[in-house]
Structure 1
Amino acid sequence: MHTEDVLAALATGVWHWDTASGMVRVDAEAARLLGMPPEPLTLSEAAARSRFHPVDWNEINGIVTLAVSEGTLAEARLRIVDESGRVLRTVRSRSKPTANGDDYVLIGTLQEVAEPPPGTAANTPVTGDWRRSREAFLLDAGRALAEAGSTEAVMRVAASLSMPGFEPDGLAVFGITGDWLTLIGHHGQSSATAGPLAEFPMSTAVDYPAAEVARTGQAIYLPTPDSYRERYPAVWPAVEAYHRQSWAFIPLLDGGVTIGAWMAAFAYPVSFSPEERSVLTTVARMLAQALARAGVADNERELSLGLQRSMMPALGPGIPGVKVAARYVPTGGGLQVGGDWYDMIPLPGAVAGAAGKGAGRVALVIGDVQGHDVRAAGLMGQLRIALRAYASEGHPPDAVLSRASRFLYGITDANDEGDASSQRFATCLYVEVDPATGTLDIARAGHPDPTVRTADGTVLARPVDGGLPLGIEPDTDYPTSRLVLQPGETLMICTDGLIETGGHDLETGWARIHKTLEQHADDNLESLVEALVQTVHGPPERHHTGPLSDRREDDIAVLLMQRTGEPVRGGAPRRTVLTVAQAQPERVSTARRQLRELLHDWADPEQADSAVLMVSEMMTNVLVHTDGDAVLSAEVSGEPGVRRLRVEVADASDELPHKRRPGELASSGRGLMLMEGLADRWGVDPRGSGKSTWFELYEPPG
C-alpha cells in the first residue's frame, strides 16, 4: 500500500509549499480539507491563503520562523473557511520547514480536529483567551524591557515576567565574554548552588545546556527531569536540588549574533508546545535587545565616569588655613559629559615682584566650555591643563587668563578651519588664594561672580571686574580684583548650571542658592556642597557617581573654600566693597542689592531703606558730577542690637559737595539734605587725591 493511501485512510492530507515560487501543491485529501474538490491541485499562495481564517494565517510566518530557527516542526491549529468566510472545520497542520536562503520549503500534513464546544475558548496559538493573554503579556513585557535603562533594571523586569498559562519559577541570564559564558543575573536560584555554573568556558568538557545554546545558537527544551539527566548527566546533581520539572534554554540573539543564553525553569511539567516555544522565543528576543541597549548604556556610564574621574581633580591633602569641597554633576543627556570643570592648583612659593606672597598659596579655578558634548569635554581637558601650566609658571591671575584665552582661541580656530560660527568659548573664574592672610586676587572671564557667606550666615554676592569669555579674542585684558576672606567665612564659586537649572534666571536662581547658603548653619563643607546640588536636583542617590537624571538641563560645577580659625570676637564685621565706573552706571543697582544683603537682619527695616536711598544718591552724584569712578565700601560692626553701619563713597575729585536749596520741581540737589535728615552721622573727608563722603547709622535695640 502506498503512503498516500495510508494517509488518506487516516483522513490526513499532504501539502507542499515553496515560498520562492509562491506555489502550494496539495493531494486529494488535503484539497478536501481545504473545501475544494478532492483531487490533487496546484494552487497559488493567494488561493491557498483564501481558505484559511485571516487571523490564523497571520500566525503562520511566526510559527515557521520559530521552527526554522530551532530546527523543529512547525505546528499550528488553523480554521478553514469557505468563499463567504464561514468556518467549515478546524485542522491541525504539522510541517518540517527547510531553509533555502531567505525562502523556505515546507512539506507537511493536514488533519481535521474537533472544534471546541460552543461557549468555550480554544486554547490555541491563534484563537481564544490564550492568544489574547499572550498578546497582552508580550506588549507589557516589551514596554517594560524597553524602559529598562541598565542591566540591573533589565534583570528586575525579567524576574517579574508572568507568562500566560505557564510561569517559570527560576530564571537565569548568561552573557558571552570572549570564550567564557558568565552568569549576568538570576532569579529563584541560590547563589551557593549557582556558583559552580556562574562562569565557565563555552568549550567546557563538562557540558551544560546554556553553553551548548551559546555555541550553536539553537534552543534546547528539556520537558522532563529524565531528559535533562540523560542529556547532561555531569551537571544534573547541581540542578536536581531545585526539584524542577522542565527547562528551556534559549539563545539571546541581537542583530543575528548570539550574545548569551536565557534559562527558564518550571516547577511543573511543560510540554513546550509551539505556542509556548513562540512566547519564550519572543521574550528571549526582546530580552536580548534590552540587554544590548543596557550594555551600551552601561558602557556609556562607565566611560562618563572614567572621563569625570580623569578630568576632575582630587582636591588633594588639606591646606593649612582653609577647607575645600567641590562637586561636578554632568547633564543627563548623551554621554553625560560636558565642559564644566573645577581645579585647585598649588602655586610657586614666591613670585618675583610680588612682595608678601609666600608658600602655601593655591589657585581655585572654575570654568565652563560651551557645549555639553564630547568635544566640549575634550576642550575642557586641554584648557584645564593649559591653565595649570600657566599658573605653575607663577603668572598673576590676569596673565593666566590672558594666556588661556589666546590658547583656546588658537586651538578652536585650528580645529574649526576658520568657521567662526562653530568656534567654542569658555567662561572662567580664577582665584589666587593666600591662606595665611585670606587675600583673594580674582580674575573673571565672563563667569558668574563669586559669593561669600560670612561667619554669622550672611550671604553676599561679590561682583568683581572681568573681561570677555576665553577664546573669543586672542588678546584680551582681565582686570584683577582683591577681596579678603575673614576667618569663618566661606567662598562659593560655581558655573551657571547651579543657578539657572530648573527654569530659573540669574535673579530667581540666585535667590534659591542664597536661601540654601543662609539656612545651612554648620561648617561642614561636604554637607553644604551636597545641599547646594540637592537644591537644584533634589536628593538622588549620589550626584557625582550615581545614576543621572535626564531632566538635568546643564552641567554643574561648584567649589567651596572656607577660611579656618576663630571668627572675630564680639561679632565679625561684615564688609563689602564695590567700584562703579563711569561706563557702568547700571552697577549702582548692584550696590543697592549688596547693601540690602549686608543689612538682611537689621532691626529697623526703615533704616535699611534709608541707607539704600543714601547710597544710591551718593554714587549717582559721583557719576554725574565728576569724571572718575565711585568706590563704595560698607561695614556693619558690633553685636546685634547695638550695631553700626558705616558707608563710604570715595571718588578722585577734590571738589567738595555743598548743600543746595532746590526748588519744588527740581530733580537734583537733595543729596546732602537726605543725609542730614536720615543719617545718625555723616561727613565729607578730603583725601590726598579726592574725597570720601560717608554716613553712619546705629541699630536701635530690639
Structure 2
Amino acid sequence: MRTEDVLAAIATGLWRWDNASGTVTLDGEAARLLGLPAEPVVLPEVAVRSRFHPVDWNEINGIVNLAVAEGTLAEARLRIMDVDGRVLRTVRSRSKPVENRAADGTTDYELIGTIQEIAEPQPGTTAAHTPITGDWRRSREAFLLDAGRALAEARSTAEVLRVAASLSMPGFSPDGLAVFGVAGDRLSIIGHHGHDPGDEGPFSDMPLETNYPAAEVVRTGRAIYLPTPEDYKRRFPAAWPLAQRFDRYSWAFLPLIVAGRTMGAWMAAFKHPASFSPDERSVLTTVARMLAQALQRAVVAESERELTTGLQRSMMPQLGPEIPGMRIAARYVPTGGGLQVGGDWYDMIPLPSGRFALVIGDVQGHDVRAAGLMGQLRIAVRAYASEGHRPDAVLSRASRFLAGLCSSPESDPYADDGGQGSDSDAYFQSPRFATCLYVECDPRTGMLEVARAGHPDPAIRMADGTVLMRPTAGGLPLGIDPESDYPTTRFTLEPGETMMLCTDGLIETGGHDLDTGWARLRAVLESDAHENPYEPAYDARVAGAGAGADAVGHLAPPHLERLADLLVQAVHGPSSHHTTGPLADRREDDIAVVLLCRESAERPSGTSLPHPARPVRRTVLTVAQVEPERIAGVRQQIRELLHDWADPDQVDSAVLMVSEMVTNVLTHTDGDALLVAEAMGELGARRLRVEVADGSDELPHKRQPGEMSSSGRGVLLMEMLADAWGVDPRGEGKSIWFELHEQSKTDADPVF
C-alpha cells in the first residue's frame, strides 16, 4: 500500500511548497482539505494562499523562519476559508523547511509536509492548544516591547540578569533561568534565578563536549526544547541526574547569538508542562535574541569602563603624602559617553627646593587624542618642574613641547594620509592647544608663585569666608606661540585660607558664562563657610580643647573633600558620581578642580588665650607698567573685599581712591604698583587700610587741578574721603596709604 493511501485513510494530505518557483503541489487529500476537488494538483502560490485566513497567513513566515533557524519542524494551525469568506475547517500543517541556496547567492525555502483536519477547540482548553487570537497576539507584542525596553536600559551584566529574571511571559512563565557563557572550550554560568546558592556548582565549569543541553546548543547554535522529563532523560541521559533534583517538568535551551557568533546559551525551566507551541517558541527565541544583544552591550560597556578606569588611574595622579600645614583635595569628572576620558588633568609635584607645585590644565578637545596629548603634556610639565625650573620657565618649555608635538607627523597617530583623509581626519590633524595654571607653593610661609597660560584665575576663600577671584598675570595658551612668555604673580596664602583651581568645565557647564559660572561657585564656597560660622569668643569647651583649637579665631580647617563634592554637585547635581569613575549621564565638558588650604595656627597645649581678634581680610596685588588694563581688576578686588561693608558710599570712596593711587604710580613712575588692602576688626566697626607702594623716591604733593585737568586729584580725594592717610618713605621708594573706619549708612557724615 502506498504512503499516500495510508495517509488518505487517516484524513492526512501531503503538500510541497516551492518558494523558488512559487508553486504548491497537493495530493488528493490535501486538495480536499483546502476546499478543492479531491485530486492531485499543482497550483500557483497565490491560489493556495487565498484559501487561508489572512490573520493565520501572516503567522506562517515567522513560523517558517523560526523553524529554519532552529532546524525544527514548522507547525501551524490554519483556518481554511471558502469562496464566500466563511471558515470551512481548521487544519494543522506540519512541514520540514529545506533551505535552497541559488547560484546568485539568494536563499529560498521548500516546505514538505502534511496537512490534517483538527477539531475546533472546546471551552476550557489551555491556551497552549488554542488557535492564535487577537488577545494572545496583543499580549505577546506588549510583553516583547516591555522586555526589549527593559533589556535595552540595562547597563551591566547583573542588571541584564535581573531584568531576565523578572520577565513574565504571556500564558507561560519559567520559574528557573540560567545564562551560560563561553570561555575558550569551557561552559560556565554567568547568572541564574530560581535556584539556591551553590546549585550552579556542577555547571560552573563544563567542557563544551559534555552531553548537556546548553553545551549542545552552543556547539550547534540550535535551540533544544524538552517538553517532558522523558524527553530530557532520553536525549541527555548523562545530565539527567543533575537536572532531576530541581523538580522541573519542561526545559528550553536557546542559543545567545550576536553577529552570527554564539556567545552562550539561555535556559528557561518550567515546573508545569509546556508544549512549546510555535508561538511560545517564537516568544522564547525573540527574548533570547534581545538577551544576547543586551549581554553583548553590557560586556562591551563593562570592558570600556574597565579601560576607562585604567586610563584615568594612569593619567590622574595620587596627591601624595600629606604636607605639614597644608591640605589638598581634588576631583576629576570626565565627559560622559565613549571612553569618558578627555584633556583635563591636575598634578602635585614635589620640587627639589622642598616646595611643591600644583598644576591644572585642559587640552583642547574631549576625544582620545586629547587624552593622549594630555598624558604627554603632563609628563613633560612634571619633568621640567622636577628639574627645578621656575614657574615661567616650566610653562615656556611646555608650550614649545606641545607646539612641536602637534606639528610633528611622526608623533601624531592621526597624521596625514597622503591627501586621502576625510574632513574628520583634518580635525584630528589640526593643531591643539592647552590652558594651564602652575602654582609653586612654599608650605612654610604660604608664599605662592603663579604662572598662567590662558587658564581661569584661581579663587581664594579667606579665613572669614569671603571669596575673591585672584587676578594673575598670564600668557597665551600652551602650544600657540612657542616663544610666548609667562610672567609670574606672587601672593601669600594666609592661615585659614583656601585656594581653588579649576578648569572651565566647572565654570561654564550648564549654559553659564564666566561671570555667572563664577557667581555659582562663589555661592557654594561662601555657603560652605557659613556652615561653620565664626565665633568671636572662646567658650569653656573651646578653651579646653588644647592643641586642636584654633589659636587666632579663624574658621576650623574646611572639610576639603566635602567641599570638592559640593562644587561638582553645583554643576551636575547631587546624584552624580563625583570620582574618577565612569559616569552614566552625558557631560558638557570635563571637570578638574583642586583645593589647597593652609591650616590655621594651633593654640599651644595648656594655654589660655584672650578672646581673639576678627581674622584679617587681606589682598595683595601687583599692577605692572605694561598692564594698565588691570586697574579695572583692582577696583573689582576692592569691591569684593568689602562686599559686606556697612556703608556702600564708603566702598565707592575706597574704590575711587585706590584707582587714583594705582593710576598715579603707573603715570608718574617707571615701576610697578604693589597694592596691599586689609580689613580688620569686628563687623560694623572694621578698619580698612590700603597701601600702594612703588619704587620712586618722589613724594606726592597737593596740587590745584584745573577744571579740565586729568591729574592732581589723588591727594585731594584722600583728604576729602579718607579718615586718615599718609606717605611712608622706604629704603627704595615709598608707600602711600589711607584708612577708612566702617560706619553705618545713617551714621555716615555727609560728603560735600
TM-score, normalised via structure 1 length? 0.90
Tell whether 2:560 aligns with 1:560.
Answer: no
Match of 1:181 among 187, 199, 202: 187
Give the corresponding residue for 2:391: 397
Stretches of structure 2 that go unaligned for 5 or more consecutive residues are 102-106, 417-425, 530-556, 604-611, 748-752
Distance 1:661 1:405, change over 3 A: closer
Give the corresponding residue for 1:224: 228
The aligned runs of 1:195-214 (5 Å cut-off) are: 195-204=201-210, 207-214=211-218
Give the corresponding residue for 1:311: 315
Between the aligned partners of 2:170 and 2:599, the Cα distance in structure 1 is 66
Distance 1:323 1:630, change over 3 A: same
**Residue-pair matches, total:** 689
Contact in 2 for aligned 1:342/1:366 (Cα 8 Å): yes
CA RMSD of aligned residues (A): 3.0
Contact in 2 for aligned 1:662/1:670 (Cα 8 Å): no
Match of 2:502 among 469, 476, 494: 494
Deviation at 1:84, TM superposition (A): 6.7
Give the corresponding residue for 2:115: 110
The aligned runs of 1:291-690 (5 Å cut-off) are: 291-349=295-353, 359=354, 361-415=355-409, 422-521=430-529, 523-540=558-575, 542-566=577-601, 570-581=613-624, 584=627, 586-619=629-662, 630-650=673-693, 654=698, 656=700, 658-660=702-704, 672-685=715-728
Stretches of structure 1 that go unaligned for 5 or more consecutive residues are 350-358
Contact in 2 for aligned 1:78/1:126 (Cα 8 Å): no
Contact in 2 for aligned 1:487/1:567 (Cα 8 Å): no
Distance 1:388 1:65, change over 3 A: same
After superposition, what is the alpha-carbon deviation per residue over 1:485-527, rounded to whole angstroms, capped at 9, x for unaligned? Answer: 1222222111111111111111111112112222224522222
Deviation at 1:151, TM superposition (A): 2.0
Q: Secondary structure of 2:589's match?
A: coil
Q: Secondary structure of 2:285's match?
A: helix
Q: Secondary structure of 2:199's match?
A: helix
Between the aligned partners of 1:113 and 1:190, the Cα distance in structure 2 is 43
Distance 1:455 1:13, change over 3 A: same
Between the aligned partners of 1:125 and 1:260, the Cα distance in structure 2 is 33
Deviation at 1:20, TM superposition (A): 3.0
Distance 1:243 1:672, change over 3 A: farther
Between the aligned partners of 1:53 and 1:589, the Cα distance in structure 2 is 85
Contact in 2 for aligned 1:208/1:232 (Cα 8 Å): yes
The one-letter code sitting in structure 2 at the alignment partner of 1:72 is T
Q: Secondary structure of 1:306's match?
A: helix
Deviation at 1:172, TM superposition (A): 1.6
Q: Secondary structure of 1:79's match?
A: strand
Match of 1:135 among 115, 118, 141: 141
Deviation at 1:279, TM superposition (A): 0.5
After superposition, what is the alpha-carbon deviation per residue over 1:290-318, rounded to whole angstroms, capped at 9, x for unaligned? Answer: 11122111111111111001111111222
Between the aligned partners of 1:234 and 1:545, the Cα distance in structure 2 is 50
Deviation at 1:241, TM superposition (A): 4.3
After TM superposition, the structure 1 stretch with the greater mean CA deviation from structure 2, 618-627 or 100-109, is 618-627
Q: Secondary structure of 2:597's match?
A: strand
Deviation at 1:70, TM superposition (A): 2.1
After superposition, what is the alpha-carbon deviation per residue over 1:592-633, rounded to whole angstroms, capped at 9, x for unaligned? Answer: 332232223334444334323433454456567777655432
Contact in 1 for aligned 2:17/2:25 (Cα 8 Å): yes
Contact in 2 for aligned 1:488/1:567 (Cα 8 Å): no
Q: Secondary structure of 1:191's match?
A: coil
Give the corresponding residue for 2:251: 247
Deviation at 1:240, TM superposition (A): 4.0
Contact in 2 for aligned 1:125/1:131 (Cα 8 Å): no
The one-letter code sitting in structure 1 at the alignment partner of 2:569 is Q
Between the aligned partners of 1:508 and 1:92, the Cα distance in structure 2 is 73
Percent identity, aligned pairs only? 71
Between the aligned partners of 2:321 and 2:625, the Cα distance in structure 1 is 45
Distance 1:667 1:161, change over 3 A: farther
Distance 1:688 1:47, change over 3 A: farther
Between the aligned partners of 1:287 and 1:213, the Cα distance in structure 2 is 16
Between the aligned partners of 2:711 and 2:482, the Cα distance in structure 1 is 45
Distance 1:545 1:32, change over 3 A: farther
Distance 1:367 1:37, change over 3 A: same
Distance 1:462 1:332, change over 3 A: same
Q: Secondary structure of 1:171's match?
A: strand
Distance 1:465 1:329, change over 3 A: same
The one-letter code sitting in structure 1 at the alignment partner of 2:501 is I
Give the corresponding residue for 2:31: 31
Between the aligned partners of 1:24 and 1:183, the Cα distance in structure 2 is 46
Between the aligned partners of 2:85 and 2:631, the Cα distance in structure 1 is 87
After TM superposition, the structure 1 stretch with the greater mean CA deviation from structure 2, 151-160 or 39-48, is 39-48
Contact in 2 for aligned 1:159/1:187 (Cα 8 Å): yes
Between the aligned partners of 1:233 and 1:457, the Cα distance in structure 2 is 78
The one-letter code sitting in structure 2 at the alignment partner of 1:111 is Q
Give the corresponding residue for 1:49: 49
Contact in 2 for aligned 1:433/1:440 (Cα 8 Å): yes
Between the aligned partners of 1:586 and 1:12, the Cα distance in structure 2 is 100
Q: Secondary structure of 1:432's match?
A: strand
Deviation at 1:74, TM superposition (A): 0.6
Between the aligned partners of 1:669 and 1:50, the Cα distance in structure 2 is 107
Contact in 2 for aligned 1:59/1:126 (Cα 8 Å): no
Deviation at 1:531, TM superposition (A): 1.8
Between the aligned partners of 1:113 and 1:624, the Cα distance in structure 2 is 109
Between the aligned partners of 1:458 and 1:271, the Cα distance in structure 2 is 76
After superposition, what is the alpha-carbon deviation per residue over 1:66-89, rounded to whole angstroms, capped at 9, x for unaligned? Answer: 212222211111233456755444
Distance 1:613 1:86, change over 3 A: farther
Distance 1:50 1:473, change over 3 A: farther
Between the aligned partners of 1:56 and 1:658, the Cα distance in structure 2 is 107
Match of 1:164 among 162, 167, 170: 170
Between the aligned partners of 2:737 and 2:324, the Cα distance in structure 1 is 38
Between the aligned partners of 2:144 and 2:258, the Cα distance in structure 1 is 18
Distance 1:28 1:79, change over 3 A: same
Distance 1:85 1:395, change over 3 A: farther
Contact in 2 for aligned 1:121/1:129 (Cα 8 Å): no
The one-letter code sitting in structure 1 at the alignment partner of 2:633 is T
Deviation at 1:475, TM superposition (A): 1.4
Between the aligned partners of 2:314 and 2:145, the Cα distance in structure 1 is 42
Deviation at 1:554, TM superposition (A): 0.7
Between the aligned partners of 1:413 and 1:328, the Cα distance in structure 2 is 29
Between the aligned partners of 2:190 and 2:214, the Cα distance in structure 1 is 12
Give the corresponding residue for 1:285: 289
Distance 1:616 1:47, change over 3 A: farther
Between the aligned partners of 2:580 and 2:83, the Cα distance in structure 1 is 66
Match of 1:263 among 260, 267, 276: 267
Q: Secondary structure of 1:193's match?
A: coil
